[in-house]
Structure 1
Amino acid sequence: MIGLGKLERYVMSRMLTSVGSALAVIAAVIILVSFVNLSREVAVRADVGVAQLFALTLLQTPSIVLLLLPFVFLFGGMAAYVGLNRRSELVAMRAAGISAWRFILPSAMVAAVIGALVVLVFNPLAAAASARYESDRANLMENYLTDAPKEVWLRQGDDRTQMVIHARQRDTAEGRVRLKGVSLFVYQKNQQGRPEFKRRLEAAEAQLYPGYWKLTDVKEASAGESSVRSDSLSIRSSLDAESAMERFAAPESIAFWRLPAAIRLTEQAGFSANGYRLRFQQLLATPVLFAAMLILSAAFSLRLARLGGLAGLAGAGVGLGFVVFFFNEFSGALADADIIPLFAAAWAPPVVALLSGLALLCYTEDG
């Protein structure tokens, strides 16, 4: 905070305190609701203790908190500025001829910096916790899960060879990838770039090691030839355990640093990587979204308390925050359907929110 005066530092400290309080309240609510939901979900397991449920809840919480962080800045910012307003501190600032821009813009810049740190640091931690949650939940509910996928489809490849992998069951416990009842279909691209079927392998089990799949109890059949049996066989793989498990996960559960590799591997395998690209752009736009939410919170909180209508403005600010959230989700759905470009879907909601907040501030402060 070098170069900032006492006033800016004071307002910023009030803002950070309110944002921290809002984060604590929202996180507590998330933990409570998640704990209750998990208690109902695993009620079929009589041997599950409270400690295990609470550990699962803590692993699930970061990913939900990450989703709701824009509301943390909206609610925290409104609490800070409404508090300054009700204590007549804003009246004193305006009487001294101090513009709201002087203390709002530094706070918005701090929100953007926090957004960058969230993307670079907290997002990978939340993704790791989410992956651990899925693994621990699967182990805890083994043979009890009714909604677990029965089949697995994977695809890997490069410029010359494509491989489609089908399995009846998967095991991703302890960071390993083990498939059972496996069928592998190997294709090779011809001179025209079209894939041609080369061989099929059936295996009782396939386990992924660095750089290769190890198949056991294998039956191999090439096009136009009889099948050959072998006890084990190794097949080169461009996947590692983490990238393979990412194929089972939604783009939201992949860490920011892993998204470029996930995009590359997905496109090499012949799949569309639009979901990963959209998520990557949304994470890049996160600092703008946090700054926009803080500016919106200020725009709806600076009306002098003695003029009345402050509660209505605050409620309108909360409503506009939900509109921005649903606009963001709606834009993502349109991008998934290839209706609008990915870049526009990711950046339009935060930019529109930022411009709306700046316009409201200009109207409030400068008339």
Structure 2
Amino acid sequence: MSGIGRLDRYVLSRTFIGVGGALAILSGVILLIQFVDLSRSVGVRADVSVAQLFGLTLLKAPALVLLLLPFVFLFGGISAYVGLNRRSELVAMRAAGVSAWRFILPSALAAFAVGILAVAFLNPVASALSARFEADRARLMENYLTDAPKEVWLRQGDERNQIVIHAKARDAVDGAVRLRGVSLFIYQKNKDGIPQFKRRLEAAEARLLPGFWKLTDVREATAGEASVRSDSLSIRSSLDSESAMERFSSPEAIAFWRLPEAIRGTEQAGFSANGYRLRFHQLLATPLLFSAMSILAAAFSLRLVRLGGLGGLVGAGVAIGFVFFFFNEFAGALAGADILPLFAAAWAPPVIALLSGLTLLCYTEDG
């Protein structure tokens, strides 16, 4: 058993070397493409230096690398197993009576573990950097297309009240959300749970502080009564600065650990949280997708070189990887349009990829 253990560790180390090489190459390509794209979209519209563009590129790149990590395991695994095959090491393993399942399983489990780490730790970091990227890009381009609409709509609520917030512009000052030209429409739920309009507030500015909105230059209008003016007014808020900024962001820009809170807050405010739920399930399915790609890489690379056709199988494996990637994106789009159930759209692609890899591996190994 100790010999088999050493063999497993050797194959696993070769697999990680292949995955590391694929990660380095893919990261370099992403940095180059992203830098060129930002040079075209930001550099020609704002007065920015090369260093600033490169800084924006570094902020955006981690999210893109995480998105394409399944390809890293696919390409890295193919590279590792093809290398073992060409050096006749697979022939020696087969001659020693070692089944492919014995050294593929550790690689698949390692890919699963990396998927857990990517979701639990790398995803929050990438989400924070993406939020910083969006803020920095907006700051650099704030003087471009100044006539473009900048209106903001927010909604917050609890079991008793619902508040719809409209503002003409927003920005962030010292980490706090500030809205200008603000209208607040306050509703109160009746005994049947139906919101009924109670009052409207108009304010020159609203700043979100811990637990409340601080309004300045306020005019308050209640149904059937004259409007009342005040210099300042505080309104209780269920939002904090981070969750308020998340309302302006796509589900992909929200960290994994904050998605359940975003789902609860969005539904409590009366909005659909399908986008957040889909993203949450897709992240939960990520470790399974990584493991499936690792198994697919092995399934398409174990054919012995002397039998011929290895290059065609490797090309087919790469093509299948792209097919599953676009299938995953397509399923998400169908779920966003309420055509597919969210759970099926998130879990079907990795499950199908895993079953396909296992089926091909059974055919290749056991005939």
- Can you list the C-alpha shifts for 1:175-209, whole angstroms capped at 9, x where unaligned? 32111111110000111111110001111111100
- Please name the residue that 2:294 is paired with: 294
Change (3 A) 1:173 1:216: closer
Partners of 2:131 and 2:151 lie apart in 1 by 19
Counting matched residue pairs gives: 366
Residues of 2 paired with 1:148 and 1:132: CA distance?
Answer: 22
Gapped regions of structure 1 (runs ≥ 5) = none
- Give the structure 2 partner of residue 320 of structure 1: 320
Q: Tell me by how many angstroms 1:341 deviates.
A: 1.6
Quick check: 2:198–2:222 contact (8 Å CA) kept in 1? yes
Counterparts of 1:124 and 1:130 in 2: how far apart (Å)?
10
Alignment of 1:70-219 (within 5 A): 70-145=70-145, 150-172=150-172, 174-219=174-219
Distance 1:206 1:310, change over 3 A: same
Measured in 2, the distance between the counterparts of 1:149 and 1:67 equals 30
Per the alignment, residue 52 of structure 1 pairs with 52
Separation in 1 of the partners of 2:318 and 2:292?
13
Letter in 1 for 2:106: P
- % identical equivalent positions: 76
Counterpart check, 1:348 vs 2:348: yes
Query: Displacement, 1:46?
Result: 6.2
Unaligned runs of 5+ in 2: none
Distance 1:347 1:276, change over 3 A: same
For the structure 1 residues 301 and 209, does the alpha-carbon distance in structure 2 shift closer, same or farther, using more than 3 Å as the test?
A: same
Structure 1 distance, partners of 2:324, 2:246, is 29
Which one-letter code corresponds to 1:72 in the other structure?
A: V
- 2:233 corresponds in structure 1 to 233
Per-residue CA deviation, residues 133-179 of structure 1 (Å, 9 max, x unaligned), is 11111111111157965211100000110000011111136532111
| Aligned-partner Cα distance in 1 for 2:130–2:291 | 26
What SS is found at the alignment partner of 1:177? Answer: strand
1:33 equivalent in structure 2: 33
1:64-105 deviation line (CA, Å, top 9, x unaligned)? 111100011000000000111111111111111111000001
Cα deviation digits, residues 3-57 of structure 1 (max 9, x gap)? 9711100000010111011111111111111111111222346642111111111
Specify the SS of the correspondent of 1:188: strand
Aligned equivalents of 2:4, 2:224: Cα separation in 1: 77
Alignment of 1:204-283 (within 5 A): 204-283=204-283
Cα gap change, 1:266 to 1:100, in 2 (>3 Å): same
CA distance in 2: counterparts of 1:339 and 1:54, whole angstroms: 40
CA RMSD of aligned residues (A): 1.5
Shift of 1:339: 2.0
The 3-state SS of whatever aligns with 2:68 is helix
Counterparts of 1:306 and 1:147, CA distance in 2: 67
Kept in 1: contact 2:168–2:181 (CA 8 A): yes
Once residues 148 and 119 of structure 1 are traced to their aligned partners in structure 2, the CA distance between those partners, rounded to angstroms, is 36
State the one-letter code of the partner of 1:184.
Answer: L
TM-score in terms of structure 2 length: 0.97
CA distance in 2, matches of 1:186, 1:210: 20
Q: For residues 353 and 186 of structure 2, what CA distance do their matches in structure 1 show?
A: 49
SS at match of 2:287: helix
Instruction: State the distance in 2 between where 1:313 and 1:82 align.
Output: 11
| SS of corresponding position for 1:248 | coil
Which deviations, in whole Å up to 9, do the C-alpha atoms of 1:301-355 show, x marking residues without a partner? 0011111111111111111111111111111122122222211111111011001
Give the AA of the match of 1:168. Answer: K
Counterpart position of 1:361 = 361
The answer as to 2:93 corresponding to 1:63 is no
Asked whether the equivalents of residues 44 and 144 of structure 1 are also in contact (C-alpha less than 8 Å), the reply is: no
Cα deviation for residue 260 of structure 1 reads 0.6
Structure 1 residue runs of 4+, over 3 Å off? Answer: 44-47, 145-149
After the TM superposition, which of the residue ranges 84-93 and 169-178 deviates more from structure 2?
A: 169-178
One-letter amino acid of the structure 2 residue matched with residue 199 of structure 1:
R
8 Å contact 1:135–1:173 — kept in the other structure?
Answer: no
